[in-house]
Amino acid sequence: MKSGNGVEILPSILAADFSKMGEEVLAAVQGGADGLHIDIMDGQFVPPITFGSQMIKDIKPYVAQVPMEVHLMVHEPIKMVQELSEIGVKSVIIHSEACLDLEATLLSIKSHGMQSGVAIKPDTHVDAIEGILDQLDIVLAMTVEPGYGGQKYIETVEPKIKLLRELIEKGNLLTKLEVDGGINESTIRSAYRAGATRFVCGSAIFGESKDIKNQIIKLREAIHIS
């Protein structure tokens, strides 16, 4: 890992300018992104509709060797697993709240050769996934309500992040702990101290007049500035 301390920064393309997506993705990759976070929303599990697998196919040539992670905010995410694996997606994160059969969905992701992750909303308790934590490559604690970029970081999720970190350590698990929502230069350190090491950042990286490459560097630095 690039930062040497396990920290991974994943730009979320939701905040990029869709009219120049390739260019912005390339800047993020050149700026040292550890992965690309791609939010698919269906207008049902969450109100907005973003994009589908065609977008992922189109940006793939710009992504180079950086892994693509898809965050599925859709009902019945199992239906998308095969097409995502065919495109070459590395990891798929689903919502426990969106699956009819969570275990079957995770099994499908695995059997298609991808890493699996489960996201939980700010109000969803750790109990919802504690029993399957050891099966997950990634656990994602949402630090905003899913659906929109640019929202404010919900600090009260931090005790849950701490609890997840404790469970991971106690069980000697390899599960990575990710946070998504409102992560910027002012909040990243606090989420890191609570126990997260994978950070999804949308509006802190992309957006008008932002130097994408430099933003990623600044976010890494912010973790270590007290």
| Residues engaged in binding Zn ion (CB under 5 A) | 39, 71, 180
58 is an active site residue = no
Nearest approach, Cβ of residue 56 and Zn ion (Å): 14
Of the two residues 34 and 39, which places its CB atom closer to Zn ion in the complex? 39
Q: Could you count the other beta carbons within 10 Å of the beta carbon of residue 26?
A: 17
Q: Could you count the other beta carbons within 10 Å of the beta carbon of residue 20?
A: 11
| Residue 63's binding partner out of ligand DX5, Zn ion, none, with CB under 5 to 8 Å set by partner kind | none
Q: Which residues contact 127 (CB under 8 A, 6 or more apart)?
A: none
Nearest approach, Cβ of residue 211 and ligand DX5 (Å): 17
Nearest-CB residue to Zn ion?
71
Of the two residues 109 and 179, which places its CB atom closer to ligand DX5 in the complex? 179
| Residue 183's binding partner out of ligand DX5, Zn ion, none, with CB under 5 to 8 Å set by partner kind | ligand DX5
CA atoms within 13 A on the CB side of 190: 15
Judged by phi (left if over 0) then psi (alpha if -120 to 50, else beta), residue 112 lies in alpha
101 is an active site residue = no
Catalytic residue from among 17, 101, 180, 211: 180
Binding site for ligand DX5 (CB under 6 A): 12, 14-15, 37, 39, 71, 144, 146-151, 180-183, 200-204
Of the two residues 18 and 131, which places its CB atom closer to Zn ion in the complex? 18
| Residue 117's binding partner out of ligand DX5, Zn ion, none, with CB under 5 to 8 Å set by partner kind | none
Q: Please identify every residue annotated as catalytic.
A: 39, 180
